């Protein structure tokens, strides 16, 4: 197979790609596949799709022999391979705690290769969880264990379902994650889009199908099951306590999300090595999708995807940047504490709400929240709790121009078209410390120079669950200071999104497989 890189296809081209490649190569095509696809929107003169194709022609070696185009080479595909089983006897099934992306993929690969994992998830299966979340958005009555943060699929299930990552993929794990997603019902284009996304609607089906595969391969899943304690003997995992019941295991994969504050506190009490880490907090800002499209595309054509953006700024030493941008999406009430408020962004696959939203966040570190390993968690909790006290659980909403002047807004139109959950008009300045407010204002006004009209957006708050405020320290074998305890995924501080969390889950599954014989 040949690799054709940097092939520019006009944005308005409506012919056959096979015919386009044939003309490009001046050769008959037996077959082809898309390897990568992106949009170049830097100018109206070169507004195009950029492809990498894998192409089969009759005599590839002869063609390459006479080829002078450096963008045409032999295609070398990276094929992911799960490692061979180790030699040690596995006395007890490995246990996975948490069924977000890291837990799902650790469980899937362990189950597929004969390790019969036992999985505990504090929330409910996805079908029930969806009903609980939608009831919360409608009635503002929270189920603390079944919400946007907790439950099968993890927090990413109620998001845009973005799968892009900057991580290199020398071993092919990222491609393998995408392949499994497609096998479980995700659209095929995630295999080649530069910024792939599934959408919350498709992701719910994918999670269900992935669960069924885990069960089919021999995994066992317990829902409504909270990890309450770990029992350590000779600095090794001996067993765990879930809902008051003891389960024996010597291999515990902690794939908890960063909202599991009670678990972090328990782990710290058990002398698991935990450190704090910098993170970021801020707001969600909403604009019409038309505004973003006009700013990001030099020409508007039918069927162009809803445009996104990525913005960064330095406000007196603090990073201010966009995060988890959701084209054509919604701002959602993502709370998981009975006395706290959190927001997040969410999009369906079609990204067709008519409104774009993104987090605009400001970096914070130990000088802001304190030196103790759990001070970052307390810092986040204090902001979410203060918001609850101001709104009684509703999402605060304000025009940015009013936020600048500390004026409470009124008469914001079409709120139900871009928000999932009830809102309340307050002055969002009251939620954050001054250094956050001033950095946000400075950053957003700078972004207005890049996207005119940006500072006319509507803001909602707070965005506090951007990344974990802690890291559970692990060694080269991916174990913590407690042998057999494998911190994993975003909550443990080793990932930053759906794909990297899934990859981290695979890495931990590989480590256990290299150590033990399977149970087949």
What DSSP string describes 130-168? HHHHHHHHHH----TTSSSSSSTT-GGGGS--B------
Cα(39)–Cα(426) distance, integer angstroms: 40
Give Cβ neighbours of residue 188 (< 8 Å, ≥ 6 apart). Answer: 182
My answer on whether 120 and 261 are in the same domain is yes
Write down which residue in 18, 40, 74 finishes a domain: 74
Strands (E), 124-278: 220-222, 227-233, 236-242, 245-248, 252-254, 274-276
- The candidate with the shortest Cα–Cα distance to 270, out of 279, 262, 259, 282, is 262
Helix %, strand %, coil % for the chain, to 5? 35, 25, 40
Q: Is residue 238 part of a domain?
A: yes
My answer on whether 344 and 392 are in the same domain is yes
Tell me how far apart the terminal alpha carbons of the chain are, to the nearest angstrom.
Answer: 37
The answer to whether the CB of 307 falls within 8 A of the CB of 427 is no
My answer on whether 39 and 100 are in the same domain is no
Q: Is residue 90 part of a domain?
A: no
Query: What pLDDT was estimated at residue 316?
Result: 86
**What is the per-residue burial (b if ≥16 Cβ within 10 Å, else e) of 15-40?**
eebeebbbebbebebeebebbbbebe
Cα(493)–Cα(516) distance, integer angstroms: 26
* Domain interval for residue 17: 2-74
Query: What pLDDT was estimated at residue 117?
Result: 98
Cα(243)–Cα(245) distance, integer angstroms: 6
Cα(357)–Cα(489) distance, integer angstroms: 25
Domain of 61, CATH number, reads 3.30.70.2700
Domain of 486, CATH number, reads 3.50.50.60
Q: Is residue 49 part of a domain?
A: yes
Question: Which H/E stretch holds residue 287?
Answer: strand 279-288
Q: Which residue shows structure tokens 């269900």?
A: 208
Query: What pLDDT was estimated at residue 147?
Result: 97
The answer to whether the CB of 105 falls within 8 A of the CB of 509 is yes
My answer on whether 307 and 259 are in the same domain is no
Query: What pLDDT was estimated at residue 167?
Result: 83
My answer on whether 255 and 269 are in the same domain is yes
Q: Is residue 83 part of a domain?
A: no
My answer on whether 102 and 233 are in the same domain is yes
The answer to whether the CB of 184 falls within 8 A of the CB of 206 is yes
My answer on whether 304 and 414 are in the same domain is yes
> CB 247: neighbour CB atoms within 10 A?
18
Q: Is residue 359 part of a domain?
A: yes
Q: For residue 293, what are its two tokens?
A: 């499209």
My answer on whether 9 and 158 are in the same domain is no
My answer on whether 270 and 209 are in the same domain is yes
My answer on whether 440 and 490 are in the same domain is no
Cα(252)–Cα(119) distance, integer angstroms: 10
Cα(71)–Cα(52) distance, integer angstroms: 9
Give Cβ neighbours of residue 389 (< 8 Å, ≥ 6 apart). Answer: none
Helices 498-515, 101-112: crossing angle, 10 deg rounding: 30
Give Cβ neighbours of residue 461 (< 8 Å, ≥ 6 apart). Answer: 282, 283, 284, 343, 387, 395, 396, 428, 431, 432
Cα(213)–Cα(126) distance, integer angstroms: 15
My answer on whether 223 and 300 are in the same domain is no
> CB 461: neighbour CB atoms within 10 A?
32
Q: Is residue 88 part of a domain?
A: no
The series of mean pLDDT values per 10 residues for the chain, 520 residues long, is 95 93 93 96 91 95 91 92 96 97 98 98 97 97 96 94 87 96 96 94 96 98 98 97 97 96 97 97 98 95 93 95 97 97 97 97 97 97 98 98 98 97 98 98 98 98 96 98 97 94 98 94
Q: Is residue 79 part of a domain?
A: no
My answer on whether 134 and 220 are in the same domain is yes
Considering its fold, how many domains does the chain have in total?
A: 3
Burial class (CB in 10 A: 0-12, 13-18, 19+), 303: exposed
Q: Is residue 445 part of a domain?
A: yes
Cα(366)–Cα(498) distance, integer angstroms: 26
Query: What pLDDT was estimated at residue 278?
Result: 96
């Amino acid at each position: 197979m040949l690799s054709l890189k940097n092939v520019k296809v006009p944005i308005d081209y409506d012919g056959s790609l096979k015919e386009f490649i044939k003309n490009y190569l001046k050769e008959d095509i037996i077959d082809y596949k898309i390897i990568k696809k992106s949009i170049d929107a830097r100018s109206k003169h070169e507004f195009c799709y950029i492809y990498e194709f894998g192409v089969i022609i009759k005599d590839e070696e002869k063609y390459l022999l006479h080829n002078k185009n450096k963008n045409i080479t032999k295609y070398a595909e990276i094929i992911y391979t799960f490692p061979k089983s180790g030699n040690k006897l596995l006395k007890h099934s490995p246990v996975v705690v948490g069924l977000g992306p890291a837990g799902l993929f650790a469980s899937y690969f362990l189950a597929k290769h004969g390790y019969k994992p036992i999985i505990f998830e504090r929330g409910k299966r996805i079908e029930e969880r969806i009903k609980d979340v939608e009831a919360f958005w409608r009635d503002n009555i929270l189920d603390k264990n079944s919400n946007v943060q907790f439950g099968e699929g993890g927090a990413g299930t109620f998001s845009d379902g973005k799968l892009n990552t900057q991580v290199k993929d020398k071993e092919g794990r990222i491609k393998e994650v995408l392949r499994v997603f497609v096998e479980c019902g995700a659209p095929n284009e995630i295999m080649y889009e530069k910024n792939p996304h599934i959408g919350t609607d498709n992701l719910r089906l994918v999670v269900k199908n992935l669960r069924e595969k885990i069960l089919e391969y021999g995994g066992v899943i317990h829902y409504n099951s909270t990890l309450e304690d770990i029992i350590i003997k000779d600095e090794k995992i001996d067993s765990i306590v879930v809902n008051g019941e003891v389960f024996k295991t010597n291999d515990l994969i902690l794939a908890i999300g960063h909202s599991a504050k009670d678990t972090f506190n328990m782990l710290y009490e058990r002398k698991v090595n935990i450190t704090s880490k910098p993170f970021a907090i801020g707001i969600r800002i909403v604009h019409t999708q038309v505004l973003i499209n006009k700013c990001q595309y030099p020409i508007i054509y039918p069927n162009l995807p809803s445009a996104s953006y990525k913005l960064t700024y330095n406000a007196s030493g603090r990073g201010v940047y966009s995060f988890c941008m959701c084209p054509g999406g919604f701002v959602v009430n993502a709370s998981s504490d009975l006395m706290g408020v959190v927001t997040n962004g969410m999009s369906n696959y079609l990204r067709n709400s008519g409104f774009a939203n993104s987090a605009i966040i400001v970096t914070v570190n130990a000088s802001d929240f304190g030196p103790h390993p759990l001070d970052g968690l307390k810092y986040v909790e204090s902001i979410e709790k203060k918001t609850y006290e101001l709104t009684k659980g509703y999402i605060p909403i304000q025009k940015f121009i009013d936020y600048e002047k500390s004026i409470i807004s009124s008469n914001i139109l079409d709120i139900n078209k871009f928000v999932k959950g009830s809102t309340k008009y307050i002055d969002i300045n009251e939620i954050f410390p001054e250094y956050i407010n001033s950095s946000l204002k400075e950053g957003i006004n700078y972004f207005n120079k890049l996207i005119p009209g940006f500072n006319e957006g509507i803001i909602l708050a707070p965005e506090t669950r951007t990344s974990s405020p802690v890291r559970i320290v692990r060694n080269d074998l991916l174990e913590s200071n407690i042998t057999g305890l494998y911190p994993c995924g975003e909550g443990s501080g080793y990932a930053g999104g759906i794909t990297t969390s899934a990859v981290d889950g695979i890495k931990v599954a590989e480590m256990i497989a290299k150590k033990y014989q399977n149970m087949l």
